[in-house]
Structure 1
Amino acid sequence: MPYVDGFVLPVPKKKVQTYKRLAQKAGKVWKEYGALEFRECVADDVKMGKLTSFPRSVKLKPSETVIFSWIVYRSRAHRDRVNAKVMKDKRIAGMDMKDMPFDAKRMIYGGFKVMVDS
């Protein structure tokens, strides 16, 4: 079964296009090293929940939107190999986290085993 890295992060609305350009570049790098899919999605129908929600999960501010993204790999071992190469690539390794168009401290991410693939 495939393996998926998932991400949820807040991006200032005024920086969505900047984030999109960054994501397009990053997607090319991940795909070059073998990722099967690289998806970046911007919130469209995401409401603030009473207890939990995408906005609450990242402590969304009124001036921000939520980005939901994922990368698909053949397996966890494949993910680990791809990410090791990506992190050494000068296009990614040279990025300064202080210059990112989002607050990385509020980003949620993790690796997931696919349990249903239909």
Structure 2
Amino acid sequence: MTYIDCFLTPVPRANRAQYEKLAAISSEVVREYGALRVVESWLDEGGSDASTYHADSARQSAESYGTMMAAAGTKKDETLVMSWIEWADKRSRDEGMEKVMSDPRMQFADMEPVFDGSRLIAAGFIPMLDHSNNN
């Protein structure tokens, strides 16, 4: 069964280009060590709010719902990046991430920080439903 690493990362809006470069490096390395898929998503700040995900009979005012930005603790100058990495299984993930974290390309100490890594929210997930319309 596949395994998913999921991340919510508050990122200063001004750092988007730098984040995209970091994400491209990370994606290359992670896929080299076994990841099946890497997705990085920059928040559509003008997009749908939580109220649009509820049927009319259950919908409340938009203000009554929490937001992803609030959950991640973003600051005024920040937006949110949601990322996930798909692995074949948890064992592949654990073995792959051990190699990823020791790879010299993933050591960014010589770079100006793009985001505050201590505020990264991360967790592993076991899919319980996986439907696709892909042919």
Runs of 4+ in structure 1 displaced over 3 angstroms?
46-51
Percent of counterpart pairs with the same letter? 33
Match of 1:63 in 2: 77
Find the structure with the greater CA-based Rg.
Answer: 2
Match of 1:109 in 2: 122
Match of 1:33 in 2: 33
| Residue range with higher mean Cα deviation, 96-105 or 55-64 | 96-105
- 2: CA distance, partners of 1:29 / 1:97: 18
8 A contact 1:9–1:107 mirrored in 2: yes
Q: CA deviation at 1:52?
A: 2.7
1:25/1:46 CA distance change after superposition, 3 Å: farther
In the superposition, the TM-score normalised over structure 1's length comes to 0.90
Aligned to 2:76, the other structure's residue is in SS state coil
Match of 1:89 in 2: 103
Q: CA RMSD in A?
A: 2.0
AA partner of residue 73 (structure 1) = W
8 A contact 1:97–1:104 mirrored in 2: no
Residue 10 (structure 1) aligned with residue 10 (structure 2): yes
Q: CA deviation at 1:85?
A: 0.8
Q: CA deviation at 1:105?
A: 2.0
8 A contact 1:3–1:73 mirrored in 2: yes
In the superposition, the TM-score normalised over structure 2's length comes to 0.79
| Residue range with higher mean Cα deviation, 25-34 or 100-109 | 100-109
1:42/1:58 CA distance change after superposition, 3 Å: same
Tell me which protein shows more strand as a share of its residues.
1
Structure 2 gaps of 5+ residues are 50-61
